[in-house]
């Protein structure tokens, strides 16, 4: 069992989280469960059983090096969206042959890095194709002539019914190539022998609750694959991206990887390896944010619990109005009230949860924000000089610090000494 309540205390596997909070200096901090991470990968592996398929974990969701190493050891590949993510994936030991490089704005140096390591690259636009072609020519000129495997990222114009900021596959989105533009890309690729088109890619968005949209995408992408194959391209992969939601609201109704794959199974074209790129559904419920209550206050009818965790540590509530379940890590017996749970950042948008019925805590009480493993630390900032939190990993009865907290010195040293650039 990963996160669970026993005798009114929160446990992560075999660890009493209050004991851990008392044992470490850091607050807030992220806490992950290795068992939950393994269970989430196993759920995908079981759902994909019998299919030629690859789980390509989306590093953007959580790029902690220790978690990446665990995921690599569990057999995952890595989906990347920047050159630095590529470097980190190499450091974590991923084989470049198991990496996919995505993005609508890859810089030339990032494309060159991917080409240098033989990473498969997704083409997102006309300029992206030209940059990848130029990088392949430059590599050939250096005597490193091997074809670059590329996928075309298709914009399928499917509305996934999620927050607009996490919908990526709609007509007006900045991502991918509209189907009617594909002939130009195919013609252009025919003239580039160093680019080898090996498949199609799409990514509909994130926090998706309805597997029907994946079914629709599979039909569309299958049809496109067939028609592109008829032009002589030997497509081997269909990459359907990530996007499966997790049960933030605790309704018990979120589709599982099995439900997702059941929806797709009969629709996949023959002789294709399916690639899925889950991020959130691998790490989301494997992590929580542990905070301390600084105090409780009241403004008119409104009651606030003010914690040391804020939008700087976890921005999803402020950015998307996202819901995270919130509780205490220890027994609290104060009066039940409806609270907004807010941080110390000087913004009215700084909240972790709104209108939650909770017992009134005393100062220093431990508070937990659940399901914070994905896009939590990864999107954190040091706004207001709230320094980025530490990260800890529980594996059975063992706890490891897997990232130290940012320090004031980290921030201050990056700004000194000043250097004069111009005039030289």
Contact segment (CB under 6 A) with ligand PLP among 239-247, 291-299, 339-347, 358-366 equals 239-247
DSSP state of 221: H
Q: What are phi and psi of 333, to 5 degrees?
A: -120, 15
Copy the structure tokens of residue 151: 């996928």
Under rule CB under 6 A, how many of the chain's residues touch ligand PLP? 17
Q: Is 112 a binder of ligand PLP (CB under 6 A)?
A: no
- Candidates 40, 102, 125, 225: give the one binding ligand PLP (CB under 6 A): 102
Other CB atoms within 10 A of residue 251 CB: 8
Query: Active-site residue 76, yes or no?
Result: no
* 85 part of the interface to ligand PLP, by CB under 6 A: no
125 binds ligand PLP (CB under 6 A): no
Q: Residue 47 interacts with ligand PLP (CB under 6 A)? A: no
Burial state string for 67-83 with b = 16 or more CB within 10 A and e = fewer than 16: bbebbbebebbbbbbbb
Asked if 377 contacts 288 with a C-beta cutoff of 8 angstroms, the reply is: no
Segment interacting with ligand PLP (CB under 6 A) among 6-14, 58-66, 259-267, 288-296: 58-66
Is 98 an interacting residue with respect to ligand PLP (CB under 6 A)?
no
CA distance linking residue 281 with residue 300, whole number of Å? 40
Binding residue for ligand PLP (CB under 6 A) from 63, 77, 222, 241? 241
Q: Classify residue 188 by burial, with Cβ atoms within 10 Å: 0-12, 13-18, 19+.
A: middle
x/- track of binding to ligand PLP for residues 257-286 (CB under 6 A):
--------------------xxxxx-----
90: helix, strand or coil: helix
Answer yes or no whether residue 58 interacts with ligand PLP by CB under 6 A: yes
- The neighbouring-strand residues paired with 150 are 121, 197
At closest approach, how far in Å is the CB of 197 from ligand PLP? 18
Residue with tokens 């605790």: 250
Q: In Å, how far are 37, 71, 96, 239, 386 from 45, measured between CA atoms?
A: 12, 12, 21, 16, 39
HSE toward the beta carbon, residue 303, CA cutoff 13 A: 13
Residue 316 Cβ vs ligand PLP, minimum distance, rounded to whole Å: 12
Window of 57-65, 213-221, 293-301, 328-336 that interacts with ligand PLP by CB under 6 A: 57-65
Tell me how far, at minimum, the Cβ of 207 lies from ligand PLP, in Å.
6
What is the smallest separation between the CB atom of 111 and ligand PLP, expressed in angstroms?
Answer: 16
H/E stretch holding 349: none
Q: What is the nearest approach in angstroms of ligand PLP to the Cβ of residue 100?
A: 8
Of 12, 76, 202, 346, which is the active-site residue? Answer: 346
User: Closer CB to ligand PLP, residue 243 or residue 366?
Assistant: 243
- 79: helix, coil or strand? strand
Q: Is 206 an interacting residue with respect to ligand PLP (CB under 6 A)?
A: yes
Nearer to ligand PLP, 215 or 304 (CB): 215
User: Which of the ranges 53-61, 126-134, 287-295, 315-323 carries the binding residues for ligand PLP, by CB under 6 A?
Assistant: 53-61
Does position 54 bind ligand PLP by CB under 6 A? no
| Burial profile 312-327: b = 16 or more Cβ within 10 angstroms, e = fewer | bbbbbbbebebebbbe
The phi and psi torsions of 366 (rounded to 5 degrees) equal: -80, 130
371-410 residues in contact with ligand PLP (CB under 6 A) are 374
| Residue 203 touching ligand PLP (CB under 6 A) | yes
Catalytic residues: 346
Write out the residues near ligand PLP by the rule CB under 6 A: 58, 60-61, 79, 102, 203, 206, 241-244, 277-281, 374
């Amino acid at each position: 069992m990963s996160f669970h309540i026993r005798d009114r205390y929160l446990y992560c596997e075999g660890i009493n989280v209050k004991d851990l909070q008392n044992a470490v200096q850091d607050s807030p901090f992220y806490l992950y469960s290795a068992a939950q991470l393994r269970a989430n990968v196993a759920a995908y592996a079981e759902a994909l059983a019998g299919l030629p398929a690859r789980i390509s974990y989306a590093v953007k969701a959580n790029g902690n090096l220790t978690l990446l190493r665990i995921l690599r050891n569990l057999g995952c590949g890595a989906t990347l969206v920047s050159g630095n993510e590529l470097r980190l994936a190499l450091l974590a030991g991923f084989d470049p042959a198991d990496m996919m490089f995505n993005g609508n704005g890859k810089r030339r140096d990032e494309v060159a890095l991917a080409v240098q390591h033989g990473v498969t690259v997704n083409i997102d636009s006309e300029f992206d194709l030209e940059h990848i072609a130029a990088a392949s020519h430059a590599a050939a000129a250096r005597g490193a002539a091997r074809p670059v495997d590329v996928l075309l990222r298709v914009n399928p114009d499917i509305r996934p019914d999620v927050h607009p900021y996490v919908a990526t596959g709609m007509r007006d989105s900045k991502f991918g190539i509209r189907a009617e533009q594909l002939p130009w890309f195919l013609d252009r690729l025919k003239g580039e022998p160093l680019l080898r088109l090996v498949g199609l890619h799409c990514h509909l968005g994130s926090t998706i609750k309805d597997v029907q949209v994946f079914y629709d995408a599979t039909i569309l992408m299958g049809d496109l694959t067939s028609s592109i194959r008829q032009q002589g391209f030997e497509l081997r992969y269909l990459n359907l991206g990530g996007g499966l939601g997790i049960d933030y609201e605790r309704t018990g109704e979120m589709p599982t990887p099995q439900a997702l794959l059941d929806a797709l199974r009969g629709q996949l074209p023959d002789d294709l390896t399916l690639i899925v790129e889950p991020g959130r559904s691998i790490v989301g419920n494997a992590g929580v944010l542990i905070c301390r209550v600084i105090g409780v206050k009241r403004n008119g009818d409104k009651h606030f619990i003010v914690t040391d965790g804020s939008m700087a540590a976890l921005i999803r509530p402020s950015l998307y109005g996202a819901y995270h379940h919130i509780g205490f890590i220890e027994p609290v017996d104060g009066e039940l009230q409806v609270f907004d749970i807010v941080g110390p950042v000087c913004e009215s948008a700084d909240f972790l949860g709104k209108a939650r019925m909770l017992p009134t805590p005393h100062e220093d009480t431990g508070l937990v924000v659940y399901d914070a493993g994905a896009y939590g630390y990864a999107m954190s900032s040091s706004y207001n000089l709230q320094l980025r939190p530490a990260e800890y990993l529980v594996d059975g009865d063992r706890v490891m610090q897997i990232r130290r907290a940012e320090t004031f010195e980290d921030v201050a040293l990056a700004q000194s000494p000043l250097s004069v650039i111009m005039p030289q």
